[in-house]
Amino acid sequence: MYANDKIWEFAETRFQEYRSSKLLCDILEKEGFFITKAVAGMDTAFVATFGNGKPKIGILGEYDALYNLSQKANIDEKQAVVENGNGHGCGHNALGVGALAAVVAVKDYMVKNNLKGTICYFGCPGEEGGSGKTYMVREKVFSDIDAAFTWHPSDVTGVVEGSTLANIQAYVRFYGKSAHAAACPHLGRSALDAVELMNVGINYLREHVIEDARMHYALTNGGGLSPNVVQAFAEELLLVRAPKMSQAKEIYERVKSIAKGAALMTGTKVEIIFDKAASNVIVNDTLNKVMYEKLLELEPIKLIKEEEEFAKKIKNTLGDEEKASGKFIVDSVKEYKFTEKAAPGSTDVGDVSFVVPTAQINTSCWASGTAGHSWQVVSQGKCSYLHKAMLLAGKAMALSALELFENDEIITKAKAELKERLNGEEYVCPIPADVKPHLKVE
pLDDT digits (tens, 9 = 90+) for 22-34: 999 999 999 999 9
For residues 3-9, average pLDDT: 98
Q: For residue 442, is pLDDT > 60?
A: no
Q: In 3-state terms, the chain is what percent helix, strand and coil (to 5)?
A: 40, 20, 40
- Closest by Cα among 93, 106, 142, 113 to 32: 106
Residue type, 217: Y
Give dist(CA 169, CA 431) in Å, integer: 10
Q: For residue 337, is pLDDT > 90?
A: yes
Q: Residue 46's pLDDT is what?
A: 98
Q: Residue 320's pLDDT is what?
A: 73
Q: For residue 323, is pLDDT > 90?
A: no
Q: What pTM value is reported for the model?
A: 0.94
For residues 186-202, average pLDDT: 98
Domain 166-278 in the same topology as domain 2-163+281-422 = no
Q: For residue 64, is pLDDT > 80?
A: yes
- Enter the DSSP assignment of 301: P
Residue type, 431: I
What does the pLDDT look like over 138-168, one tens digit per residue? Answer: 999 999 999 999 999 999 999 999 999 999 9
Q: What average pLDDT does the chain have?
A: 96
Taking each helix axis as running N to C, give the angle between helix 384-406 and helix 408-422, from 0 to 180 degrees, rounded to the nearest 10: 100
Q: Residue 328's pLDDT is what?
A: 82
The domain limits of the chain are 2-163+281-422, 166-278
Q: Residue 419's pLDDT is what?
A: 97
CATH topology of domain 166-278: Alpha-Beta Plaits (3.30.70)
Buried b (16+ CB within 10 A) or exposed e, 344-375: eebbbbbbbbbbbbbbbbbbbbbbbbbebebb
Q: Residue 1's pLDDT is what?
A: 81
Q: Residue 22's pLDDT is what?
A: 98
Q: Residue 61's pLDDT is what?
A: 98
Domain 2-163+281-422 = CATH 3.40.50.300: no
For residues 421-437, average pLDDT: 94
Q: How far is CA 303 from the centre of its chain?
A: 28
Residue 64 backbone dihedrals phi, psi, to 5 degrees: -95, 150
Give dist(CA 300, CA 295) in Å, integer: 8
Q: Residue 330's pLDDT is what?
A: 84
Q: For residue 319, is pLDDT > 70?
A: yes
